[in-house]
Amino acid sequence: AQTVTQSQPEMSVQEAETVTLSCTYDTSESDYYLFWYKQPPSRQMILVIRQEAYKQQNATENRFSVNFQKAAKSFSLKISDSQLGDAAMYFCASSGANDMRFGAGTRLTVKP
Amino acid sequence: DGGITQSPKYLFRKEGQNVTLSCEQNLNHDAMYWYRQDPGQGLRLIYYSQIVNDFQKGDIAEGYSVSREKKESFPLTVTSAQKNPTAFYLCATSPVAGLTYEQYFGPGTRLTVT
């Protein structure tokens, strides 16, 4: 079974600044994927970024990038040039062949 | 207009009653999933289905039941055996079977049981 831990229940960032959200995971799967999902106040879950574990290159999507450290089982999300619309709950998730796990989430506040 | 539909958005029931939550998709995705979300917690998998007429239990299947008679539909029944049914329920789909693929989520149903 997999476990996903997000150690920061809440984070805040000033608009236009950069913030990093932490995530660690544990898995016995040899092939797995990692995700960051965003859940705004509307509660609609939105995929932010995805990382295949077999790829060494860190995934990027516009202002969002990850720092994937496979040996350390760490998968942090960096948000650059933060915008007010980035305010949301962020969930880290890990999936393998037969299992998908979510962390407890980090609530991100963006200050104008 | 493609997407995942969950209805209703808010649902209220009396304790002891079974209730069925709807999830419909027109994305032609093979796999469908049901999650439960409680305050301060992440999503927990209830059931998933990778093909019509087949489904598998997730971590917290007790007190729930599902069916997958059509590719487009994956209703979830919350039975009276579920001890603490009040929660936010999310349905998700994935283009192909296998939990390694990203999932797409519906808008959710907030169930309140009193």
Residue predicted with more confidence, B82 or A21: A21
Residue identified by tokens 């093979």 is B30
Cα B73 to Cα B68: distance, rounded to the nearest angstrom: 6
Interchain CB distance below 8 Å, B99 and A42: no
Return the minimum-mean-pLDDT range out of A27-41, A93-107, B83-97. Answer: A93-107
Q: Which two tokens stand for residue B23?
A: 């999830």
Nearest CA distance, A112 vs chain B (angstrom): 25
Give the chain B residue nearest A42 (alpha carbons): B107
Which residues, other chains included, contact A84 with Cβ-Cβ below 8 Å and sequence gap of 6+? A15, A110, A112
Nearest CA distance, A111 vs chain B (angstrom): 22
Cα A44 to Cα A40: distance, rounded to the nearest angstrom: 7
Nearest CA distance, B35 vs chain A (angstrom): 10
The partner residue sitting opposite B107, judged by closest CB among A31, A44, A95, is: A44
- Bridging pattern class, strands B104-105 and B87-94: antiparallel
> Over the range A73-100, which residues count as b (16 or more CB within 10 Å of their CB) and which as e?
bebbbbbeebeeebbbbbbbbbbbeebb
The partner residue sitting opposite B99, judged by closest CB among A37, A95, A104, is: A95
Q: What is the mean pLDDT of residues B1-26?
A: 91
Return the minimum-mean-pLDDT range out of A15-24, A27-36, B78-87, B92-101. Answer: B92-101
Tens digit of pLDDT for each residue in A43-78?
999 999 999 999 989 999 999 999 999 999 999 999
Phi, psi of A84 (to 5 degrees): -55, -35
CA dihedral for B23, A33, A58, A15, sign (positive or negative): positive
With contacts defined as CB-CB under 8 Å, which chain B residues touch A91? 42-43
Cα B39 to Cα B28: distance, rounded to the nearest angstrom: 32
Phi, psi of B95 (to 5 degrees): -55, -40
Q: Which two tokens stand for residue A102?
A: 């979510």
Q: Which two tokens stand for residue B55?
A: 């489904």
In the prediction, which pLDDT does A98 show?
Answer: 65
Residue predicted with more confidence, B109 or B80: B109
